Amino acid sequence: MATPNETLARSITRSANAHAYATIQLLVDRRRVGDAFRAYGYFRWVDDRLDLGDLDGPQAGAFLARQRALIDSAYRGEAMAAADPEEELLQELVGHDPRRESGLALYIGHMMDVMAFDAARRGRLVSAKELASYTRSLAAGVMEALHYFIGGEAKGSRSPARYSAASGAHIAHMLRDTHEDVARGYFNIPLEVLQQGGISPEQIDSLPYRAWVRGRVARASRCFRLGRAYLAQVHSLRFRIAGLAYCIRFERCLESFKRDAYHLRPGQVPDHHAAGSEAAFLAGVAADRRPNRAAPSAGWRSSALGPRDPAQAGPA
Protein backbone atom coordinates (compact mmCIF):
# COMPACT_ATOMS: atom_id res chain seq x y z
CA MET A 1 0.00 0.00 0.00
CA ALA A 2 1.37 3.42 -0.99
CA THR A 3 2.34 5.85 1.75
CA PRO A 4 0.86 9.39 1.74
CA ASN A 5 4.13 10.78 0.37
CA GLU A 6 4.29 8.18 -2.40
CA THR A 7 0.69 9.03 -3.28
CA LEU A 8 1.73 12.69 -3.49
CA ALA A 9 4.64 11.79 -5.77
CA ARG A 10 2.40 9.75 -8.03
CA SER A 11 -0.11 12.61 -8.22
CA ILE A 12 2.58 15.14 -9.15
CA THR A 13 3.93 12.86 -11.87
CA ARG A 14 0.53 11.97 -13.29
CA SER A 15 -0.51 15.64 -13.51
CA ALA A 16 2.77 16.85 -14.99
CA ASN A 17 4.04 14.22 -17.40
CA ALA A 18 2.06 11.33 -18.89
CA HIS A 19 5.16 9.88 -20.53
CA ALA A 20 7.10 9.74 -17.26
CA TYR A 21 4.10 8.30 -15.41
CA ALA A 22 3.65 5.50 -17.94
CA THR A 23 7.37 4.74 -18.04
CA ILE A 24 7.61 4.44 -14.26
CA GLN A 25 4.40 2.47 -13.89
CA LEU A 26 5.23 -0.04 -16.62
CA LEU A 27 8.99 -0.35 -16.99
CA VAL A 28 10.76 0.56 -13.74
CA ASP A 29 11.98 -2.31 -11.54
CA ARG A 30 9.10 -3.20 -9.20
CA ARG A 31 11.17 -2.61 -6.07
CA ARG A 32 12.03 0.92 -7.22
CA VAL A 33 8.71 2.17 -8.57
CA GLY A 34 7.91 4.18 -5.44
CA ASP A 35 11.33 5.81 -5.43
CA ALA A 36 11.10 6.63 -9.14
CA PHE A 37 7.89 8.54 -8.42
CA ARG A 38 9.58 10.23 -5.44
CA ALA A 39 12.50 11.31 -7.62
CA TYR A 40 10.30 12.73 -10.36
CA GLY A 41 7.86 14.34 -7.93
CA TYR A 42 10.61 16.03 -5.93
CA PHE A 43 12.44 17.55 -8.89
CA ARG A 44 9.18 18.56 -10.56
CA TRP A 45 8.37 20.48 -7.38
CA VAL A 46 11.81 22.11 -7.23
CA ASP A 47 11.61 23.12 -10.88
CA ASP A 48 8.13 24.57 -10.47
CA ARG A 49 9.15 26.56 -7.40
CA LEU A 50 11.98 28.13 -9.39
CA ASP A 51 10.07 28.49 -12.65
CA LEU A 52 6.81 30.06 -11.53
CA GLY A 53 8.50 33.37 -10.80
CA ASP A 54 7.51 33.65 -7.15
CA LEU A 55 11.14 33.67 -5.99
CA ASP A 56 13.50 36.53 -6.80
CA GLY A 57 17.23 35.94 -7.31
CA PRO A 58 18.28 35.84 -3.64
CA GLN A 59 15.21 33.82 -2.66
CA ALA A 60 15.89 31.28 -5.40
CA GLY A 61 19.48 31.03 -4.26
CA ALA A 62 18.41 30.47 -0.67
CA PHE A 63 15.87 27.85 -1.74
CA LEU A 64 18.51 25.93 -3.72
CA ALA A 65 21.02 26.18 -0.89
CA ARG A 66 18.43 24.66 1.43
CA GLN A 67 17.79 21.80 -0.99
CA ARG A 68 21.52 21.07 -1.25
CA ALA A 69 21.75 21.11 2.54
CA LEU A 70 18.86 18.63 2.73
CA ILE A 71 20.63 16.36 0.25
CA ASP A 72 23.94 16.52 2.14
CA SER A 73 22.26 15.87 5.49
CA ALA A 74 20.31 12.94 4.06
CA TYR A 75 23.49 11.30 2.76
CA ARG A 76 25.15 11.83 6.13
CA GLY A 77 22.19 10.13 7.78
CA GLU A 78 21.30 13.26 9.74
CA ALA A 79 17.76 14.42 10.46
CA MET A 80 17.14 17.90 9.01
CA ALA A 81 13.56 19.05 9.47
CA ALA A 82 11.58 19.10 6.23
CA ALA A 83 9.54 22.23 5.58
CA ASP A 84 7.32 20.67 2.90
CA PRO A 85 6.01 17.18 2.06
CA GLU A 86 8.04 17.35 -1.15
CA GLU A 87 11.23 17.67 0.89
CA GLU A 88 10.19 14.50 2.70
CA LEU A 89 10.12 12.79 -0.71
CA LEU A 90 13.81 13.59 -1.10
CA GLN A 91 14.67 12.37 2.39
CA GLU A 92 12.81 9.11 1.86
CA LEU A 93 14.46 8.64 -1.53
CA VAL A 94 18.00 9.03 -0.18
CA GLY A 95 17.15 7.05 2.93
CA HIS A 96 16.26 4.05 0.78
CA ASP A 97 19.73 4.12 -0.86
CA PRO A 98 22.29 6.31 0.94
CA ARG A 99 25.25 5.16 -1.18
CA ARG A 100 27.04 8.26 -2.44
CA GLU A 101 28.46 6.33 -5.41
CA SER A 102 25.09 5.03 -6.65
CA GLY A 103 23.39 5.98 -9.89
CA LEU A 104 20.72 7.65 -7.77
CA ALA A 105 23.30 9.94 -6.16
CA LEU A 106 24.68 10.84 -9.61
CA TYR A 107 21.18 11.62 -10.81
CA ILE A 108 20.41 13.85 -7.83
CA GLY A 109 23.70 15.73 -8.18
CA HIS A 110 23.30 16.37 -11.90
CA MET A 111 19.69 17.47 -11.54
CA MET A 112 20.56 19.94 -8.80
CA ASP A 113 23.19 21.40 -11.14
CA VAL A 114 20.49 21.75 -13.81
CA MET A 115 18.14 23.51 -11.38
CA ALA A 116 20.87 25.88 -10.24
CA PHE A 117 21.81 26.84 -13.79
CA ASP A 118 18.20 27.51 -14.75
CA ALA A 119 17.72 29.72 -11.71
CA ALA A 120 20.90 31.69 -12.45
CA ARG A 121 20.36 32.21 -16.18
CA ARG A 122 16.91 33.77 -16.05
CA GLY A 123 16.98 37.20 -17.66
CA ARG A 124 20.54 36.98 -19.00
CA LEU A 125 22.27 35.80 -22.15
CA VAL A 126 24.52 32.78 -21.74
CA SER A 127 27.50 31.42 -23.64
CA ALA A 128 27.72 28.34 -25.83
CA LYS A 129 30.02 26.75 -23.24
CA GLU A 130 27.43 27.28 -20.48
CA LEU A 131 24.62 25.83 -22.58
CA ALA A 132 26.74 22.81 -23.53
CA SER A 133 27.47 22.17 -19.85
CA TYR A 134 23.75 22.51 -19.11
CA THR A 135 22.90 19.86 -21.70
CA ARG A 136 25.65 17.53 -20.40
CA SER A 137 24.30 17.78 -16.84
CA LEU A 138 20.72 17.15 -17.90
CA ALA A 139 21.66 14.26 -20.17
CA ALA A 140 23.81 12.62 -17.49
CA GLY A 141 21.02 12.98 -14.94
CA VAL A 142 18.43 11.41 -17.23
CA MET A 143 20.57 8.46 -18.26
CA GLU A 144 21.86 7.73 -14.76
CA ALA A 145 18.25 7.72 -13.56
CA LEU A 146 17.22 5.30 -16.31
CA HIS A 147 20.09 2.97 -15.48
CA TYR A 148 19.32 3.14 -11.77
CA PHE A 149 15.58 2.58 -11.97
CA ILE A 150 15.37 0.16 -14.92
CA GLY A 151 17.24 -3.11 -15.27
CA GLY A 152 18.76 -3.56 -11.84
CA GLU A 153 21.21 -0.66 -12.17
CA ALA A 154 22.95 -2.28 -15.15
CA LYS A 155 25.88 -0.04 -15.93
CA GLY A 156 26.02 -0.26 -19.71
CA SER A 157 28.89 1.09 -21.75
CA ARG A 158 30.79 4.12 -20.45
CA SER A 159 31.39 5.39 -23.97
CA PRO A 160 30.43 9.00 -24.80
CA ALA A 161 27.34 7.61 -26.53
CA ARG A 162 25.90 6.75 -23.10
CA TYR A 163 24.42 10.26 -22.86
CA SER A 164 23.86 10.94 -26.58
CA ALA A 165 20.12 10.21 -26.77
CA ALA A 166 19.36 12.41 -23.77
CA SER A 167 21.57 15.17 -25.20
CA GLY A 168 19.61 15.07 -28.45
CA ALA A 169 16.35 15.15 -26.51
CA HIS A 170 17.45 18.20 -24.53
CA ILE A 171 18.45 20.06 -27.68
CA ALA A 172 15.05 19.30 -29.23
CA HIS A 173 13.28 20.21 -25.98
CA MET A 174 14.92 23.65 -25.82
CA LEU A 175 14.12 24.37 -29.47
CA ARG A 176 10.51 23.31 -28.99
CA ASP A 177 10.07 25.53 -25.92
CA THR A 178 11.83 28.58 -27.40
CA HIS A 179 8.85 30.96 -27.51
CA GLU A 180 7.62 30.00 -24.06
CA ASP A 181 11.11 30.26 -22.60
CA VAL A 182 11.82 33.67 -24.14
CA ALA A 183 8.57 35.00 -22.64
CA ARG A 184 9.81 33.86 -19.21
CA GLY A 185 13.33 35.24 -19.64
CA TYR A 186 15.19 32.06 -20.63
CA PHE A 187 17.34 32.32 -23.76
CA ASN A 188 18.38 29.02 -25.33
CA ILE A 189 20.54 30.47 -28.11
CA PRO A 190 24.19 31.26 -27.28
CA LEU A 191 25.38 34.82 -26.84
CA GLU A 192 28.08 34.27 -29.50
CA VAL A 193 25.48 33.36 -32.15
CA LEU A 194 23.44 36.46 -31.37
CA GLN A 195 26.49 38.68 -31.59
CA GLN A 196 27.70 37.14 -34.83
CA GLY A 197 24.26 37.44 -36.45
CA GLY A 198 23.54 40.90 -35.05
CA ILE A 199 20.19 39.79 -33.65
CA SER A 200 18.38 39.71 -30.34
CA PRO A 201 17.05 36.49 -28.75
CA GLU A 202 13.52 37.62 -29.62
CA GLN A 203 14.24 37.58 -33.37
CA ILE A 204 13.36 33.93 -33.68
CA ASP A 205 12.24 34.15 -37.33
CA SER A 206 15.41 35.89 -38.52
CA LEU A 207 17.75 34.14 -40.98
CA PRO A 208 20.67 33.88 -38.50
CA TYR A 209 18.39 32.34 -35.89
CA ARG A 210 16.95 29.83 -38.37
CA ALA A 211 20.45 28.90 -39.55
CA TRP A 212 21.39 28.18 -35.95
CA VAL A 213 18.23 26.09 -35.52
CA ARG A 214 19.18 24.06 -38.59
CA GLY A 215 22.57 23.31 -37.09
CA ARG A 216 21.02 22.29 -33.78
CA VAL A 217 18.57 19.96 -35.51
CA ALA A 218 21.48 18.32 -37.34
CA ARG A 219 23.39 17.93 -34.08
CA ALA A 220 20.39 16.44 -32.26
CA SER A 221 19.88 13.99 -35.13
CA ARG A 222 23.47 12.80 -34.78
CA CYS A 223 22.97 12.44 -31.04
CA PHE A 224 19.91 10.25 -31.60
CA ARG A 225 21.78 8.01 -34.04
CA LEU A 226 24.58 7.48 -31.51
CA GLY A 227 22.07 7.10 -28.71
CA ARG A 228 20.08 4.42 -30.50
CA ALA A 229 23.29 2.45 -31.10
CA TYR A 230 24.05 2.69 -27.38
CA LEU A 231 20.56 1.56 -26.42
CA ALA A 232 20.84 -1.47 -28.69
CA GLN A 233 23.73 -2.89 -26.66
CA VAL A 234 22.14 -2.46 -23.21
CA HIS A 235 21.12 -5.85 -21.83
CA SER A 236 17.80 -4.85 -20.23
CA LEU A 237 14.85 -5.01 -22.63
CA ARG A 238 12.84 -2.65 -20.43
CA PHE A 239 15.67 -0.12 -20.55
CA ARG A 240 15.79 -0.33 -24.34
CA ILE A 241 12.02 0.16 -24.56
CA ALA A 242 12.14 3.23 -22.31
CA GLY A 243 15.07 4.70 -24.23
CA LEU A 244 13.43 4.11 -27.60
CA ALA A 245 10.19 5.80 -26.51
CA TYR A 246 12.25 8.74 -25.22
CA CYS A 247 13.99 9.07 -28.60
CA ILE A 248 10.73 8.83 -30.56
CA ARG A 249 9.18 11.58 -28.46
CA PHE A 250 11.79 14.17 -29.35
CA GLU A 251 12.64 12.99 -32.86
CA ARG A 252 9.08 14.04 -33.70
CA CYS A 253 10.07 17.57 -32.73
CA LEU A 254 12.98 17.56 -35.16
CA GLU A 255 10.70 16.47 -38.00
CA SER A 256 8.34 19.36 -37.23
CA PHE A 257 11.20 21.87 -37.35
CA LYS A 258 12.37 20.53 -40.71
CA ARG A 259 8.86 20.69 -42.19
CA ASP A 260 8.59 24.34 -41.14
CA ALA A 261 11.95 25.24 -42.72
CA TYR A 262 13.50 25.71 -39.26
CA HIS A 263 10.96 28.29 -38.14
CA LEU A 264 10.16 27.80 -34.46
CA ARG A 265 6.50 28.46 -33.71
CA PRO A 266 4.43 28.40 -30.52
CA GLY A 267 2.52 25.16 -30.22
CA GLN A 268 4.46 23.72 -33.16
CA VAL A 269 4.63 20.27 -31.59
CA PRO A 270 1.34 19.17 -29.91
CA ASP A 271 3.21 17.28 -27.22
CA HIS A 272 0.18 16.28 -25.19
CA HIS A 273 -0.96 14.14 -28.12
CA ALA A 274 2.52 12.67 -28.53
CA ALA A 275 2.70 11.83 -24.85
CA GLY A 276 -0.62 10.04 -25.02
CA SER A 277 0.48 7.92 -27.96
CA GLU A 278 3.76 7.07 -26.25
CA ALA A 279 1.95 6.07 -23.06
CA ALA A 280 -0.12 3.72 -25.18
CA PHE A 281 3.04 2.49 -26.91
CA LEU A 282 4.68 1.71 -23.59
CA ALA A 283 1.56 -0.05 -22.35
CA GLY A 284 1.33 -2.13 -25.52
CA VAL A 285 4.98 -3.17 -25.48
CA ALA A 286 4.80 -4.03 -21.79
CA ALA A 287 1.73 -6.18 -22.43
CA ASP A 288 3.46 -7.91 -25.34
CA ARG A 289 6.41 -8.90 -23.21
CA ARG A 290 4.10 -10.28 -20.50
CA PRO A 291 1.85 -12.60 -22.55
CA ASN A 292 0.16 -14.11 -19.49
CA ARG A 293 -1.14 -10.75 -18.30
CA ALA A 294 -3.96 -8.72 -19.78
CA ALA A 295 -3.03 -5.50 -21.54
CA PRO A 296 -3.92 -2.30 -19.65
CA SER A 297 -7.36 -1.08 -20.59
CA ALA A 298 -8.09 2.09 -22.52
CA GLY A 299 -9.54 3.49 -19.32
CA TRP A 300 -6.20 3.03 -17.54
CA ARG A 301 -4.40 4.84 -20.31
CA SER A 302 -6.82 7.74 -20.11
CA SER A 303 -6.38 8.03 -16.38
CA ALA A 304 -2.60 8.22 -16.84
CA LEU A 305 -2.87 11.44 -18.85
CA GLY A 306 -2.79 14.54 -16.70
CA PRO A 307 -4.27 17.94 -17.58
CA ARG A 308 -0.96 19.77 -17.81
CA ASP A 309 1.32 19.92 -20.81
CA PRO A 310 3.39 16.79 -20.12
CA ALA A 311 6.70 18.25 -21.26
CA GLN A 312 7.26 21.27 -19.07
CA ALA A 313 10.83 22.50 -18.77
CA GLY A 314 12.78 20.57 -16.21
CA PRO A 315 13.29 16.93 -15.48
CA ALA A 316 12.85 15.16 -18.83
CA atoms within 13 A on the CB side of 124: 10
Length of the chain: 316
For residue 14, which phi and psi values (nearest 5 degrees)? -60, -40
Query: Domains in the chain, start-ordered, CATH in brackets?
Result: 1-122 (no CATH), 126-269 (1.10.600.10)
pLDDT single digits (tens) 71-84? 999 999 998 999 99
What does pTM read for this prediction? 0.84
Identify the pLDDT of residue 63: 95
Q: How many helices (H) and strands (E) in the chain? A: 14, 0
The mean per-residue pLDDT over the stretch 40-69 comes to 91
Alpha-carbon gap, residue 50 to 56, rounded angstroms: 9
pLDDT single digits (tens) 79-136? 899 999 999 999 999 999 999 999 999 999 999 999 999 999 999 999 999 999 999 9
DSSP per-residue string spanning 179-245: HHHHHTT---S-HHHHHHHT--TT-TTSHHHHHHHHHHHHHHHHHHHHHHHHHHT-S-HHHHHHHHH
pLDDT single digits (tens) 232-269? 999 999 999 999 999 999 999 999 999 999 999 998 87
First to last CA, the chain: 27
